[in-house]
């Protein structure tokens, strides 16, 4: 007897939202390993299974590497899977992240982002997800508690689309989103059932473990050269991940549109824009800093400045066309505020990717890199206002070769 969750409003932590989203999505297999700040996700899930009788296979494994290996096995056997990790755990499972994407398994992993050790840091930091950016996984950022629910539900829709079949990481900030509490609206189960794709009855169509259809998966792929042979298609199979990721652009947009139709909420697709139509300078953030940026934009707008905010929702696939469109519509400067350091590249990872998205544009917009909030350090609305003012200055003075600025950094970085 399938359970049917009713519509409700819960005043709830971000981690609990993630657990509820997995339940709404009718996840079939979960593997769990604790790590701050995602621990309460797997704890809540174990409550659902043990204490509330939720029909889901829940396995407590002995390391994060095993978490992902376990989900790869379970997904390969044809089930909907879910797990959660953070920081060090994401690094430990890195080998298996690289295994999941070429295996084309639609796994959803919630990452409560935290800082890199040594120097134990359990607070909001995006270095962990940045270190996983070329694994072939799709990467989506949630910026509020409601957004966590919406993004995880959409993630299943995107990952299981036959044009995609790639695993997805849904990121939420450690402690700032995972442990804070807000009211969140939960829909009736029937809407989620309508929105999500039906699970194929006999395992995934493209990859399966079925004694009636014996296959060997993952054997050697030799290099090859100028002549194509079936056993030397490594390059081509890797390129098919790229193809799927480009398809994901369309699928993410479709999923967001359908979501709005069914649930009535606009989550944005690859990006979400706030007052960008007549903006001259725009602040680009991922995660909850994007939500705070709305207040910064409103404050500066009330002072007469034409500014806007862009929530970077999808990091992979990177919204190249969406940002180019903003630049073509009149946005002259983009201040990118990030919680990560892409070493030696004069900024964080998204600022570098944004510059490369604008490289061939004439004139090329101004990209002003900012790094802040690293290791959970506070970034205030006023900091974001200052960032926008700085970007406006850069535009006014036509500054090029702008050096990255560290926000709330104690000392001078030469």
Partner 1 sequence: MGGLNKMSFKKIAKEAPKEYFLPGNSACAGCGLELSLRWALKALGQKTIMVAPASCTNVIVGLYPKGAPAIPFTNMAFAAGCSSASGIRTGLQARGINDVTVVCWSGDGGAFDIGLQSASGAAERNDDILYICYDNEAYMNTGTQRSGGTPYGAWTTTTPEGKRQHKKDLAGIFASHNIPYVATASVGYPIDLYNKVKKAKNIKGFKFIHIFAPCPPGWRFETENMIKVAKNAVASGIWVLFEIEHGKKTLSAPSEKYRDKSKRIPLKEYLQLQGRFSKMTDKEINELQRWIDNYWEHLEKELACFG
Partner 2 sequence: MEKNKYKPWRSIPDDIRFEDLPTCPLAISDKGSIGNTGEWRTFRPVINKEKCTKCMTCWTYCPEGVIYEDNDELFIDYTYCKGCLICYSECPVNAIEKVREEI
* Interacting span for partner 1 (CB under 8 A) from 54-62, 306-314, 319-327, 359-367: 54-62
Say if CB 213 and CB 78 are below 8 A apart: no
The whole-angstrom separation of Cα 201 and Cα 64 is 29
Number of residues that bind partner 1 (CB under 8 A): 47
Q: Which of 365, 378, 371 is nearest to 403 (CA)?
A: 371
Tokens linked to 35 = 């790590």
Using CA atoms, how far apart are residues 261 and 333, in angstroms rounded to an integer? Answer: 33
77 near partner 1 (CB under 8 A): yes
CA-nearest of 201, 199, 135, 205 to 168 is 135
Q: Identify which of residues 122 and 248 has a Cβ nearer to partner 2 in the complex.
A: 248
Could you tell me how far CA 232 lies from the centroid of its own chain? 33
Quickly list DSSP for 54-83. ---EEEE-SSHHHHHHHHHHHHHTT--EEE
Q: Which is nearer to partner 1, 29 or 285 (CB)?
A: 29
Q: Which one of partner 2, partner 1, none is in contact with 28 (Cβ closer than 5 to 8 A by kind)?
A: partner 1
User: For partner 2, which is the closer residue by CB, 4 or 201?
Assistant: 201
**In this complex, which beta carbon is closest to partner 1, that of residue 218 or of residue 363?**
218
Contact flag: residue 241 with partner 1 (CB under 8 A): no
Using CB under 8 A, which of 53, 118, 119, 218 touches partner 1?
Answer: 218
**Interaction of residue 49 with partner 1, rule CB under 8 A:** no
Q: Which are the contacts of 283, defined by CB distance < 8 A and separation ≥ 6?
A: 293, 296, 297, 307, 308, 309, 310, 334, 335, 336, 337, 384, 387, 388, 391
C-alpha angle with apex 70: 69 to 75, nearest 5 degrees?
A: 100
User: Given the rule CB under 8 A, which of 134-142, 225-233, 354-362, 381-389 is the region that contacts partner 1?
Assistant: 225-233
Closest separation between CB of residue 317 and partner 2, Å?
A: 18
Nearer to partner 1, 76 or 149 (CB): 76
Decide whether 199 or 381 has the Cβ nearer to partner 1: 199
* Residue 317 CA: distances (Å) to CA of 123, 219, 240, 244: 26, 28, 14, 10
- What gap in Å lies between CA 234 and CA 224, rounded to an integer? 8
Report in angstroms how near the CB of residue 76 gets to partner 1 at its nearest.
6
Q: What residues make contact with partner 2 under the rule CB under 8 A?
A: 103-104, 165, 201-202, 205-208, 210, 212-219, 221, 227-230, 233, 236-237, 239-240
Where do contacts with partner 1 occur on this chain (CB under 8 A)?
28-29, 31, 56-57, 59-63, 65-79, 81, 95-96, 99, 203, 208-211, 213-222, 230-231, 233
């Amino acid at each position: 007897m399938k359970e049917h969750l009713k519509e409700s409003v819960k005043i709830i932590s971000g981690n609990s939202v993630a657990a509820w989203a997995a339940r709404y999505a009718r996840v079939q297999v979960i593997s769990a390993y604790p790590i701050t700040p995602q621990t309460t996700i797997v704890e809540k899930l174990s409550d659902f299974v043990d204490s509330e009788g939720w029909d889901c296979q829940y396995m407590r494994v002995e390391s994060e590497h095993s978490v992902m290996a376990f989900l790869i096995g379970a997904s390969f056997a044809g089930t909907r899977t879910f797990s959660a990790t953070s920081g060090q755990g994401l690094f430990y499972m890195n080998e298996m992240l690289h295994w999941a994407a070429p295996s084309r398994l639609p796994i959803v992993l919630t990452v409560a982002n935290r800082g890199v050790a040594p120097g134990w840091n359990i607070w909001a930091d995006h270095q962990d997800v940045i270190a996983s950016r070329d694994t072939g996984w799709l990467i989506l950022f949630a910026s509020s508690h409601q957004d966590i629910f919406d993004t995880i539900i959409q993630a299943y829709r995107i990952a299981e689309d036959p044009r995609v079949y790639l695993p997805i990481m849904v990121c939420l900030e450690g402690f700032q989103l995972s442990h804070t509490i807000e009211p969140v609206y939960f829909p009736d189960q029937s809407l989620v059932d309508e929105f999500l794709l039906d699970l194929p009855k006999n395992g995934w169509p493209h990859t399966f473990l079925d004694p009636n259809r014996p296959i060997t998966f993952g054997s050697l792929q030799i290099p090859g050269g100028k002549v194509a042979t079936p056993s030397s298609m490594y390059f081509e199979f890797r390129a098919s991940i790229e193809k799927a990721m480009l398809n994901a652009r369309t699928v993410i947009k479709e999923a967001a549109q359908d979501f709005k139709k069914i649930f009535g909420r606009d989550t944005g697709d690859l990006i979400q824009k706030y007052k960008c139509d007549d903006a001259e300078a725009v602040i680009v953030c991922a995660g909850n800093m994007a939500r705070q940026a709305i207040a910064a934009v409103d404050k500066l707008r009330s002072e007469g400045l034409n500014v806007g905010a862009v929530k970077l929702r999808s990091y992979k696939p990177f919204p190249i066309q969406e940002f180019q469109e903003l630049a073509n519509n009149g946005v002259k400067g983009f201040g990118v505020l990030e919680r990560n350091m892409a070493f030696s590249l004069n900024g964080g990872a998204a600022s570098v990717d944004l510059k490369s998205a604008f490289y061939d544009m004439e004139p090329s917009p101004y990209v002003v890199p900012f790094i802040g909030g690293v290791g959970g350090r506070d970034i205030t609305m006023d900091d974001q206002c200052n960032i926008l003012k700085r970007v406006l200055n850069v535009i006014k003075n036509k500054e090029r070769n702008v050096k990255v600025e560290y926000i709330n950094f104690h000392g001078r970085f030469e």
